[in-house]
């Protein structure tokens, strides 16, 4: 008994972390509630939820600083303002995407997130601003064994009340029944004289207002800054997946429960506190793929909803490919080789992503994990183990493929946007692992990675390194092309177009999807390994979730489902980063605008739209 007491932490520390866990759980529950409400009733994954949470806190701070508006008034006004912003987003953008695949809503709101964060960073900076505790909630209750600050107790109590009231409104009132009816059968609901578009708009605005409300309550506890919602939203996605996509009660219960689990983990094993939520998610998905309170997804998008133009014969001719090869060989004469190296790494990453989305219909938002795994594995092999560059690339690719095998096993049993959110959460768990690993160098990364030499060529020379990377990326591109044209690739396309038919024909669908996932991770690992050697650095940037955003952006700019589309998209994104670097964080705004424009105007991408234009011209 005495030994057990020695192991247990002091009661004040234990209860203190429990309070912290309840505080975090309160924000998880509120944000998850909004996400579940929007997805469950509108079938839209609101990636901008974190940015709207940030806007709620920022609005409260601006009202206090410039107008002297108190916290209590801001608690009402700020959510209304954020909800009005949601009204504009729904009317201008999301309303046109309800009949399309979930992918487009997610990409649209991701672009909105980039725009919002970029604007706030440029106007208010990245350091953050403090918000004072409201009057009347500055003290604390002393229970003898612990102190509970008044404001923290207020946050917990209000969160519980708001979550319970929202659930009752949706499940037990006539307004909630109208909302559910409008989303389940809009034509029939409209026949009863109910304004369905208005209901959907108000539902989205209310979900967004919940995020703004959470932001106002978070302002006195955390620094108000542009990135305060970008990391939190990844955890919230994991909470929603655990509770069950679209389950309101699941989101609330999981939010509070996971906040407590996270707080207790900080007491007993602090190093694992950042990954506790994602570990729980992995365990839940192994037992219940639909989450604790979710239902198995039955909806499969119409193949016509997703713009996958496929091969473009005119662009796939040997003549075009020969011209492209000559351009790549002569490019270093005109363009700085390090920029071309970045293009090659990005192009191979985009091609690996395109293999999954364009030809298998699976949107992965976790490719940063595979790119980062290849980067760190190659850096460790080259710098610490002294391996030659080719062996380092091979090890990086194998490491990414092994990681892809684990991620694929956990994620391929889900479809559509569920799959995307699971890969995103798993990638974030890997990110936290890299942050804490001793070999990674933490924030400084692994620097001065030696390039070495290959068949007598000193790769320290930029030109030699470019041609080394060109050969490897070119062979990888040919391998991907061969996979797509093989019977295996044809089977993947049939699974993408109609999974039920593929099952009825006897195809082992899950096995095919898992193999495709591992292959995609393998090629992303090659790209990451080339990045480590090219720039002699393995940093957290390569494993952060924004790298997954790069992969998605390159795919939709160039054109998913085309061979040359990812290459064109990589060239555009690399050029934006390189030639618009003087704009600073305004580059985020530019990328967000491109996201929005691609989703609204040309969903096939540059190469896809070019192929469609050529096809129409041939018909004429």
What are the angstrom distances between the C-alpha of 9 and each of 16, 20, 273? Answer: 11, 16, 16
Are 274 and 346 within one domain? no
Q: Does the residue 300 lie in any domain?
A: no
Q: Does the residue 423 lie in any domain?
A: yes
Q: Does the residue 428 lie in any domain?
A: yes
Q: Does the residue 309 lie in any domain?
A: no
Of the listed ranges 8-17, 381-390, 485-494, the least confidently predicted one is 8-17
Give residue-wise pLDDT tens across range 345-357: 999 999 999 988 8
What are the angstrom distances between the C-alpha of 232 and each of 48, 229, 349, 498, 506? Answer: 12, 5, 26, 35, 42
Give residue-wise pLDDT tens across range 590-605: 878 887 887 887 777 7
Ranges assigned E (strand) in 468-560: 537-538
Are 536 and 405 within one domain? yes
What are the angstrom distances between the C-alpha of 193 and each of 95, 186, 189, 452? Answer: 20, 11, 7, 73
pLDDT exceeds 80 at position 338: yes
Of the listed ranges 101-105, 111-115, 589-593, the least confidently predicted one is 101-105
Side-chain-side CA neighbours of residue 501 (13 Å): 10
Q: Looking at 541, 576, 594, which one is the last position of a domain?
A: 541
Are 422 and 526 within one domain? yes
Task: Quickly list H helices, 361-461.
Answer: 367-383, 389-411, 416-436
Are 500 and 357 within one domain? yes
Q: Does the residue 29 lie in any domain?
A: yes
Taking residues 71-93, report their average pLDDT: 90
Give residue-wise pLDDT tens across range 511-566: 999 999 999 999 999 999 999 999 988 888 889 888 888 888 888 888 887 778 88
Single pTM value for the model: 0.82
pLDDT interval class at 611 (50, 70, 90)? confident
380 phi-psi bin (left φ>0, alpha ψ -120 to 50, beta other): alpha
Are 407 and 536 within one domain? yes
Are 283 and 365 within one domain? no
- Cα 527 to the chain's mean position, in Å? 19
Give residue-wise pLDDT tens across range 246-295: 778 888 888 888 888 888 887 777 767 777 887 888 788 777 777 787 65
Are 214 and 71 within one domain? yes
What are the angstrom distances between the C-alpha of 614 and each of 314, 435, 504, 575, 617? Answer: 8, 48, 36, 26, 5
Q: Is 315:441 a contact under the CB 8 Å cutoff?
A: no
Instruction: Return the residue matching tokens 């191979």.
Output: 348
SS3 10: coil
Measure the CA–CA gap between 371 and 540, rounded to whole angstroms: 11
Are 265 and 357 within one domain? no
Domain count across the chain: 2
Contacts of 399 (CB under 8 A, 6+ apart): 373, 374, 376, 377, 525
CA geometry: angle 249, 251, 257, nearest 5 deg: 100
Are 342 and 283 within one domain? no
Contacts of 421 (CB under 8 A, 6+ apart): 45, 237, 240, 241, 245, 365
pLDDT of residue 374: 94
Q: Does the residue 617 lie in any domain?
A: no
Domain that holds residue 356: 335-541
Are 248 and 348 within one domain? no
- Residue 213, H or E segment: helix 196-218
Q: Does the residue 271 lie in any domain?
A: yes
Are 381 and 282 within one domain? no
Measure the CA–CA gap between 19 and 260, rounded to whole angstroms: 8
Q: Which CATH number fits the domain that encloses residue 153?
A: 1.10.3470
Q: Does the residue 518 lie in any domain?
A: yes
Give residue-wise pLDDT tens across range 295-337: 554 444 443 344 454 445 455 556 666 777 788 888 888 888 8
Are 375 and 491 within one domain? yes
Measure the CA–CA gap between 435 and 592, rounded to whole angstroms: 27
């Amino acid at each position: 008994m005495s030994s057990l007491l020695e192991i247990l932490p002091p009661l004040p520390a234990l209860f203190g972390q429990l309070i912290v866990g309840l505080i975090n759980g309160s924000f998880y529950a509120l944000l998850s509630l909004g996400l579940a409400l929007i997805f469950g009733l509108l079938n839209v994954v609101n990636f901008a939820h974190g940015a709207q949470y940030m806007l709620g806190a920022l609005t409260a701070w601006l009202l206090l600083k410039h107008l002297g508006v108190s916290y209590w008034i801001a608690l009402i006004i700020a959510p209304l303002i954020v909800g009005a912003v949601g009204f504009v987003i729904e009317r201008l953008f999301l309303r046109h995407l309800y009949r399309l695949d979930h992918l487009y809503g997610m990409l649209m709101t991701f672009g909105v997130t980039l725009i919002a964060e970029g604007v706030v960073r440029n106007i208010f900076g990245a350091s953050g601003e403090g918000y004072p505790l409201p009057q009347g909630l500055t003290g604390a209750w002393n229970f003898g064994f612990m102190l509970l600050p008044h404001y923290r107790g207020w946050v917990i109590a209000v969160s519980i009340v708001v979550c319970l009231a929202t659930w009752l409104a949706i499940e037990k009132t006539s307004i909630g029944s109208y909302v559910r009816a409008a989303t389940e059968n809009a034509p029939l609901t409209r026949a009863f004289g109910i304004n369905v578009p208005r209901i959907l708009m108000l539902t989205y605005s209310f979900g967004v207002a919940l995020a703004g409300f959470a932001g106002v309550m978070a302002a006195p506890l955390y620094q108000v800054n542009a990135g305060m919602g970008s990391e939190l939203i990844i955890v919230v996605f994991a909470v929603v997946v655990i509770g069950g996509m679209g389950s309101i009660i699941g989101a609330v219960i999981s939010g509070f429960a996971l906040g407590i689990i996270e707080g207790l983990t900080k007491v007993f094993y602090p190093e694992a506190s950042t990954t506790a939520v994602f570990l729980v998610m992995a365990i839940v998905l192994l037992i219940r793929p639909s989450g604790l309170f979710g239902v198995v997804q039955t909806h499969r998008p119409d193949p016509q909803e997703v713009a996958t133009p496929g091969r473009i014969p005119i662009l796939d001719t040997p003549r075009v490919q020969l011209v492209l090869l000559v351009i790549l060989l002569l490019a270093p004469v005109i363009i700085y080789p390090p920029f071309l190296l970045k293009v090659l790494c990005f192009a191979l990453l985009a091609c690996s992503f395109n293999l999954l989305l364009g030809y298998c219909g699976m949107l992965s938002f976790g490719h940063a994990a595979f790119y980062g795994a290849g980067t760190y594995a190659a850096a460790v092999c080259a710098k610490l183990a002294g391996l030659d560059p080719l062996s380092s690339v091979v090890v990086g690719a194998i490491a990414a493929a092994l990681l892809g095998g684990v991620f694929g096993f956990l994620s391929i049993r889900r479809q559509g946007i569920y799959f995307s959110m699971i890969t995103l959460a798993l990638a974030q768990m890997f990110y936290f692992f890299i942050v804490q690993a001793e070999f990674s160098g933490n924030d400084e990364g692994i620097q001065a990675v030696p390039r070495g030499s290959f068949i007598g060529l000193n790769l320290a020379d930029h030109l030699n390194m470019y041609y080394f990377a060109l050969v490897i990326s070119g062979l990888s591109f040919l391998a991907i092309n061969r996979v797509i044209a093989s019977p295996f690739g044809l089977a993947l396309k049939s699974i993408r177009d109609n999974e039920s038919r593929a099952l009825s024909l006897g195809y082992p669908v899950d096995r095919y999807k898992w193999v495709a996932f591992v292959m995609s991770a393998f090629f992303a690992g090659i790209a990451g390994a080339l990045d480590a050697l090219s720039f002699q650095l393995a940093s957290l940037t390569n494993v952060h979730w924004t790298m997954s955003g790069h992969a998605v952006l390159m795919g939709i700019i160039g054109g998913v489902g085309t061979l040359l589309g990812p290459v064109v998209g990589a060239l555009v994104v690399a050029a934006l980063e390189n030639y618009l670097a003087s704009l600073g964080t305004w580059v985020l705004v530019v990328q967000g605008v491109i996201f929005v424009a691609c989703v609204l105007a040309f969903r096939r991408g540059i190469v896809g739209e070019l192929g469609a234009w050529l096809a129409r011209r041939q018909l004429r």
